[in-house]
Amino acid sequence: MQGKRILLGVTGGIAAYKSPDLVRRLRERGAEVQVVMTAAAREFVTATTFQAVSGRPVRTDLWDAAAEAAMGHIELARWAEVVLIAPATADFLARLAGGRADDLLATLCLATEAPIAVAPAMNHLMWANAATRANVAQLATRGVAVLGPGTGDQACGEVGEGRMLEPLELAEQLAALLAAGGELAGRRVLITAGPTRERLDPVRFISNRSSGKMGFALAQAARAAGAEVVLVAGPVSLPTPPGVRRIDVESAADMLAAVLSELPGTHVFISTAAVADYRPLRTAQHNIKKTSDTLELAMERTPDVLATVAARADRPFVVGFAAETESVEQNARAKLMKKNLDMIAANEVGDAKAFDADDNQLIVLARGARYELGRAGKLALARGLVSLIAQQLAARTDRPQRGTALA
């Protein structure tokens, strides 16, 4: 939803008191929100409230000369990337179904090419009325998305179907709706992130430095592009991006097991995890005591999760990461070949630059292609990388065999 321009229409129902909270939920997700109120909506909530939470002047009137001079209603209709009417009263649904243009909001709905979603809110008998049913059915055939309504206590004291969905749920449903047309719609993406921990004894472990931020940003970006996303995460302290399924693991062996069990049906595997390359040969049952001045540890290789996935006959599109301290591109290209990847994203990590940082830059190598994603926030980079993956995937979909001859 980042940067999406949402036109929020508020019509005159008691549920309008929840709409300022909806504006906040949408803005939290990075959307720009322009509120348009009907005359009846202003009987319930003031325009001042919406102006404060949206950070933009509210539009209420088709005949407001000053507002029209700033951005005419046709311009506003073009500005919107999606229109959400919440709450949508029975009267507004009827006007929308009838193609009326008798106030600013109805006119905008008629003039826009953006998709329209409505969140009905009304008394359960009004919702059940044949006239409303016919209007809603009519709107649905025109591609208007109907979100809700929910069932429960109503303002009139009755109980039934007709409550507006809660702001958080509306924001989530709208995000899913926007994502449904995304570049990775219908794809399943599996991502590893964070470090792994290899136990020495009950209180000690060997690990890698990794915040997990890049992998989590990729999960968020892939989800926003419409993918079903599974995130296999080592120990990190990051919140799970909304709509993403997360599986927490500890060691490289756990990570491999989780990845292999999630692999069926996966179209893209992205390996951002900083997997420990070695693990102690033995894990002590009790704390290792300080009995000598030096301590030698026998270590063995951990499984290479990325290479294991890339070596399978039923491999998805496989993307690796390379953190290099020198000869970034040369080393990354060598890894692309050695691990038989479809794509590799490389960055320089001298002075622990990229660790924990919120921004980064990447060189992306794929079969016969090279891209540079300039320094930016990890989410912006993740979006760029997701787009490159989607392009490569679309170009290869028709090929019977992929991922063999590289670069």
Which residues bind to ligand CTP, rule: CB under 6 A? 252, 271, 273, 275, 277, 302, 304-306, 320-323, 335
DSSP 401: S
Q: Chain centroid to CA 76: how far?
A: 26
- The catalytically annotated residue of 71, 156, 176, 177 is 156
CB atoms within 10 A of CB 180: 12
Rg (CA), the chain: 26
State the nearest-atom distance from the C-beta of 195 to ligand CTP, in Å.
10
Per-residue burial over 63-93, b if 16 or more Cβ lie within 10 Å, else e, is eeeebbeeeebeebbbebbbbbbbbbbbbbb
Burial class (CB in 10 A: 0-12, 13-18, 19+), 181: exposed
- The region, left, alpha or beta by phi > 0 then psi within -120 to 50, assigned to residue 16 is alpha
State the nearest-atom distance from the C-beta of 305 to ligand CTP, in Å.
3
State the nearest-atom distance from the C-beta of 202 to ligand CTP, in Å.
23
Q: What does the CA dihedral 345, 351, 354, 360 come to, rounded to 10 degrees?
A: -80
Beta-carbon contacts of 23 under 8 Å, excluding residues fewer than 6 positions away, are 8, 33, 35, 50, 53, 54
Residue 156 among the catalytic residues: yes
On whether the CB atoms of residues 325 and 349 are closer than 8 A, the answer is yes
C-alpha 238/C-alpha 370 separation (Å) is 31
C-alpha 53/C-alpha 46 separation (Å) is 12
On whether the CB atoms of residues 226 and 199 are closer than 8 A, the answer is no
Strands 188-193 and 228-233 turn out to be: parallel
Strands (DSSP E) contained in 78-187 are 82-88, 116-120, 145-146, 150-153, 159-163
Tokens representing residue 403 in the block? 């991922």
User: For residues 118 and 256, which CB has a smaller minimum distance to ligand CTP in the complex?
Assistant: 256
7 in helix, strand or coil? strand
258 in helix, strand or coil? helix
Question: What are the beta bridge partners of residue 59?
Answer: 36
The DSSP H or E segment spanning 259 is helix 252-262
C-alpha 165/C-alpha 156 separation (Å) is 17
Tokens representing residue 6 in the block? 């949402």
User: For residues 116 and 270, which CB has a smaller minimum distance to ligand CTP in the complex?
Assistant: 270
State the nearest-atom distance from the C-beta of 253 to ligand CTP, in Å.
10
Q: Which residues are catalytic?
A: 156
